[in-house]
Structure 1
């Protein structure tokens, strides 16, 4: 009887652990908040639903979510959070997602590879094109005359300004 109890007890713990691990998946792996026809980019005011290949998302600790028509505007929000969302700071962001250009699926913005300087324009002109892996980014760079591949930490206000100036 004791052996059965230990087995059953450990089985319950294993089940609880699996459930807990399942709940820690990011929004990129779960259902995301549905973008409606009313959702506008807080940076440029464009309706985001029109550009599903370009969507970026930021979630805040208070449960609010903001959608963008490209990674460039998302970074503008990150760099000047109080301007676009008064009362909020970048430290309050819980998740930042971008859409992989080839796969058209949400990925973590901080782990993405971004191609800049390509011949592909986004809804707001020259854009950072996100990819989930370096190989895809390299292939795109070669096929579309990209200038370089950068990571999240390397995106600066100066990089964003240079993309806007290329217009």
Structure 2
């Protein structure tokens, strides 16, 4: 029964037209684990982040924080691939709960919303959504993809952002 449900979901996602800004990727399977922390990803669909490689291999993450850690050290987490092999980087928009291109997302840090691994980068589709989320959830900063650095990731792991 579970296999049939999974296959139907995959067929639906492949057949459904993507909305503007949405990146359609296959959902993680029940045994998909984050290559950074080892957590089972399918339990947290509202936080899923994804990297798709040229050869079709897909890595799923339990949140944007681990996605960014992976992107900083691809060889550490996947010795058979490099940064040049990455074709898709996607995160799940907090409000729409749909995967979108991570490079165009806005990330709120320091909010009162925690992900599966604690303090997290909360992805949003627009600056307006990010500002609204920040006001509603006591966020500290809004960042773009290129502004997420190692120091920030370490800070999130240590309990937040100042």
Q: Give the TM-score category using the shorter length.
A: 0.7 to 0.9
Partner of 1:6: none
Partner of 1:136: 129
Q: Tell me, in whole angstroms, the C-alpha distance in 1 between the residues paired with 2:77 and 2:47.
A: 19
Divergent runs of 4+, >3 A = 25-30
Q: Secondary structure at the match of 1:48?
A: coil
Partner of 1:71: 64
Are positions 1:52 and 2:41 aligned together?
no
Q: Which structure's CA Rg is the greater one? A: 1
| RMSD between superposed Cα atoms in Å | 1.8
Structure 2: unaligned runs, 5 residues or longer: 1-18
Q: Tell me, in whole angstroms, the C-alpha distance in 2 between the residues paired with 1:63 and 1:41.
A: 17
Q: Tell me, in whole angstroms, the C-alpha distance in 2 between the residues paired with 1:52 and 1:64.
A: 19
Partner of 2:101: 108
Q: Tell me, in whole angstroms, the C-alpha distance in 2 between the residues paired with 1:63 and 1:26.
A: 23
Partner of 2:6: none
Structure 1: unaligned runs, 5 residues or longer: 1-24
Question: Aligned ranges for residues 87-126 of structure 1 at < 5 Å?
Answer: 87-126=80-119
Partner of 2:14: none
